[in-house]
Amino acid sequence: MRRLGYILTAIVLAVAAALAGAESARPQQGQLTIYAAASLTEAFRALDPSRQYNFAGSNALETQIRQGAPADIFASATPASTQNLFRAGLVEKPVTFTANRLALIVPKSNPAGIRSVYDLRTKPVKLVIASQGVPVGGYTRTVLRKMGLLSVLGKVVSEESDVKAVTGKVALGQADAGFVYVTDARPVSDQVTVVRIPAWAQPQVRYEIAVVARSTNKTAARQWIRTLLATRGQTALRNAGFLPPPKTAP
């Protein structure tokens, strides 16, 4: 009888351990993985530091989601990426949640003596920009086209995979100038100087966000987006230098 008691006890303990393991392996409600444009790094971490983030160029994140990456939410610096995924049935209907502006930044030492965007044409400059497929890279080329400065692309010494890489190279003095979002200049304001781009030359920089269709945590993902669109989320974005979303998004 004593042996039978040991066996029963062992069975009970084994079942309890199995149940505990299954419970710990089950995804907890509210655990979200958010894929977001690199320019959103500071704002999103300030809003909700507890989430798991993957910050990169929006084009790279779009590709990763197409390949089955385990994202619950996708926040893009261009509507093109979210709309592409929406048409493919890979995300729910995107919504616009903020906007941004471009700026030219130079190192504090300003070795090339740049005071205006037009100085890029007349001065010997080592210019760094983002690649064409990256949203900020496309916006950069829009600015240069509007200002009649496409010829300065011949002075580009490096094309980067996201806006943080552009910002870092200028902040470290590895380039004389670079085009970034205004919001990316803020965290390195002690290392760079902002050269303003005229309002008439600014592209429309609009950010969209969507729940990823294959997410297993859609309820929490939708709630997170509602928080972002509400006062707390918009305040975090505004504190990081972002603009309110356009009242009428195209």
* Same domain, residue pair 1 and 68: yes
Residue 111: predicted pLDDT: 96
Beta pairing, strands 156-160 & 192-195: unpaired
pLDDT tens by residue, 209-231 = 999 999 999 999 999 999 999 99
**How many domains, the chain?**
2
Range of the domain at 173: 102-201
Please list the residues that pair with 155 across neighbouring strands.
none
Residue 85: HSE in the Cβ half-sphere, 13 Å Cα cutoff: 33
pLDDT along the chain (250 residues), means of 10: 42 39 40 96 96 97 97 98 98 98 97 97 96 96 98 97 97 97 96 97 97 96 97 97 79
Residue 3: predicted pLDDT: 44
Residue 229: predicted pLDDT: 97
CA-nearest of 30, 71, 40 to 183 is: 40
* Same domain, residue pair 79 and 110: no
Rg for the chain, CA atoms, rounded: 23
Q: What is the pTM of this model?
A: 0.85
* Same domain, residue pair 108 and 179: yes
* Same domain, residue pair 142 and 191: yes
* Alpha-carbon distances of 215 from 27, 46, 106, 122, 218, rounded to whole Å: 11, 24, 41, 51, 6
Residue 17: predicted pLDDT: 41
Residue 155: predicted pLDDT: 97
Residue 246: predicted pLDDT: 85
